[in-house]
A and B are shown apart, each in its own frame.
Chain A
Amino acid sequence: MEQAMKQSETWEPKILAFLCNWCSYAGADLAGVSRLQYPPNIRVIRIPCSGRMNPAFIVAALRNGVDGVLVSGCHPGDCHYLSGNYFARRKFTVFKSLLEYMGIEEGRVHFSWVSAAEGEKFSQVVSEVTEKVKALGPAKNYVREKIEVC
């Protein structure tokens, strides 16, 4: 049923966005307050810092049927905790390449820097990510058939 829905023409991707509390979340807020238009495909989860982002979150999201993931934090040098995003950047570099090496399509997982003043950029990033994930189609490979009951 779900599979059939996904393949129908009205399919819209589900994208999970992990936004850092201090910049990107406020950036998303600004985009909303400024009435900027962006695709309604993202679901936002607020994290304290992009450095808090555990790659396991990305994998858990993909495994449970999300079509794309966006992780966004403060620009380098602007981290509220001074260096969280610098460490995150190294971690993401390696993790993204491993993920793609193992066969997750390029374009499922995205990273961005969006500051609290960049409502405009936030809407652009979301549009771009949504477009790329749409082009890839529904995630099939890594999705569990049945979602485990916790």
Chain B
Amino acid sequence: MEKIAEQIRSEASRLLEKGEVELVVGFRKGSIPMVSRPWLARTPQEAKELHWDGFCNLNLANYLTKRKGKVAVVAKGCDSRSLVLHIQEHQISREQVVVVGVPCNGMLDRRKLQQAAGRGKEILEVEETDGSVQLRGRDLQISLPREEALQQCCSICEHRNPVVKDLLVGQEVAEQKSERFKEVLEIEAKKAQERWEVFRQVLSTCIRCYACRNACPHCYCPECFVDCSRPQWVGKSQDPEDVFTFHLFRAFHMAGRCTDCGSCERACPMGIPVRLLTRKLEKEIKERWGYEVGTSLEGVPPLATYQPDDPQDFIL
């Protein structure tokens, strides 16, 4: 990890010194354990703060929307896919971006680590070695395998290496095959009323804070449908119907655009598995049109195009 961080720092300083980019978007060590915060370095001096560890889980494509000038970005697999979508949707051009690709072994889940440490225990230090994670604190010293501490979206991720890159930091990692849609298939197998109950239950704790929307790198409409008052598509209340409508549309706006980076779920203060909805759409789009979001610059997002012979079995 420290080796990768060192390489990121040297690449960033080089790019900034040469004036190839005005800005490097990366991570900096957070002020509390288990958090790395985004860092926008504009000088070689500031680039020395750049950092890399198992908590660099934010999607940095969020900081590229409509940015002017040349920018370098530190990109894991998911960041690079989001970047591809940004390019396809003309939020930034390919020429503007220098992608510093970092192959990723999955990022750690703060909530899982806290759970492993136990209630009331404060984790003060986390050290990652090959294949395991050590947690330290007062009266606390445990070690657990890295796989068990991964975020759920990382444990089923199939694009760990950046899909576009100008530079590569570290070694490419092996891609994994996984059961991406296990939970989705389980819900699909239920009857309509049961599915209704499932989502009523899942969404019941939603406090409508919109953290999932704000954290999403692809939610950049100038005016969001939830803020729209004429017509008002979704009520402001916390009634189950309004909550349902909000989640339905938030997910639908992600159709053919979600890279499953997990930002929404990570941001949710109530721990709602909102990716159950976006993953259903991902599955639908993969099955119908064989499209995987953000895997290549050439493709067109599936809802922005059509084929005259698209399947229409459901149309009367």
Q: What residues of chain A lie closer than 8 Å to B252, measured between beta carbons?
A: 55, 94-95, 98
Q: How far is the CB of B291 from chain A (nearest CB, A)?
A: 11
The answer to whether B248 and A87 touch across the interface, beta carbons within 8 angstroms, is no
Q: Which one of B198, B239, B285 contacts A103 once the chains associate, using CB atoms below 8 Å?
A: B198
Given contacts A90-B302, A144-B241, contact A101 B310 (CB under 8 A): no
In order of increasing CB-CB distance, the 9 nearest A-B pairs are A103-B196, A112-B316, A86-B306, A103-B195, A105-B192, A56-B233, A111-B315, A94-B255, A101-B280
With beta carbons under 8 angstroms apart, the residue of A90, A105, A111 that contacts B303 is A90
Residues of chain B at the chain A interface (Cβ within 8 Å): 187-188, 192-200, 225, 231-233, 235, 239, 241, 244-245, 248-249, 251-252, 255-256, 277, 280-281, 284-285, 288, 302-303, 305-308, 310-312, 314-316
The reply to whether A93 and B245 form a contact with Cβ atoms under 8 Å apart is no
| 20 A-B contacts (beta carbon < 8 Å) | A55-B252, A87-B306, A90-B302, A92-B315, A93-B314, A94-B255, A94-B303, A95-B255, A98-B280, A98-B284, A99-B248, A100-B195, A101-B280, A102-B196, A102-B277, A103-B193, A103-B194, A104-B196, A112-B316, A128-B316
Q: A residues within 8 A CB of B255?
A: 94-95, 98
Known contacts A83-B306, A89-B306, A99-B248; is-contact A111 B314 (Cβ 8 Å): yes
Contact with B along A59-85 (1 / 0, CB 8 A): 110010000000000001100000100
Complex alpha-carbon distance, A101 and B251, angstroms: 12
Q: Contacts of B239 on A, CB cut-off 8 Å?
A: 144
Beta-carbon contact of B248 and A110 below 8 Å: no
B281 touches A104 (CB 8 A): no
Using A98-B280, A102-B248 as known contacts, list a sample of 11 further A-B pairs with CB atoms less than 8 Å apart, ordered by residue number in A.
A56-B225, A86-B306, A90-B302, A90-B303, A98-B252, A98-B255, A101-B187, A101-B280, A102-B199, A110-B316, A143-B241
> CA–CA, A100 to B192, complex, Å?
7
Residue among A55, A91, A93, A110 with max Cβ neighbours from chain B (10 Å):
A93
Task: State the CA gap A101–B284 with chains docked (Å).
Answer: 11
Which residues of A lie under 8 Å from residue B256 when comparing CB positions? 94
Cα–Cα distance between A110 and B315 once the two chains are bound (Å): 7
CB <8 Å contact, A56 and B306: no
A145 to B20, CA, bound (A): 60
Select one of A77, A87, A89, A98 contacting B312, CB under 8 A: A89
* Closest beta carbon of chain B to A140's beta carbon, Å: 10
Is the Cβ of A76 less than 8 Å from the Cβ of B312? yes
Q: Does A96 count as interface, using CB distance less than 8 angstroms? A: yes
What is the interface of chain A mostly: helix, strand, loop, or mixed? Answer: helix
Also in contact, A86 and B316, with CB within 8 A (given A97-B284, A102-B244, A103-B196): no
- Closest Cβ of chain A: how far from B64's Cβ, in Å? 26
Q: Is A142 an interface residue (CB 8 A)?
A: yes
CA distance A90 to B297 in the complex (A): 21
Tell me, in angstroms, the Cα distance from A60 to B234 when the chains sit together. 8
The reply to whether A103 and B199 contact each other, CB–CB distance below 8 Å, is yes
Name the B residues within 8 Å of A94 (CB-CB). 252, 255-256, 281, 284-285, 303
Structural contact, B315 and A106, CB atoms closer than 8 A = no
Q: What's the minimum C-beta distance from B303 to chain A, rounded to whole angstroms? A: 5
B133 → chain A closest CB, angstroms: 35
Task: Mark contacts of A117-130 with chain B using CB atoms, 8 A cut-off: 1 yes-contact digit, 0 otherwise.
Answer: 00000000100110
B308 and A76 form a contact (CB under 8 A): yes
* Also in contact, A148 and B235, with CB within 8 A (given A94-B255, A94-B284, A95-B252): yes
> Which B residues lie within 8 Å of A148 (CB)?
235
Q: How far is B310's CA from A94's CA once the two chains are assembled, in angstroms?
A: 12
A7 at the interface (CB under 8 A from B): no
Residues of B within 8 A of A76 (CB): 308, 312
Q: Assess A93 versus B311: contact at CB under 8 Å? Given A101-B188, A144-B241.
A: yes
Collect the chain A residues with CB atoms within 8 Å of residue B244's CB. 102, 142
Residue numbers in A under 8 Å from B248 (CB-CB): 59, 98-99, 102
Residues in B with CB closer than 8 Å to A77 are 308
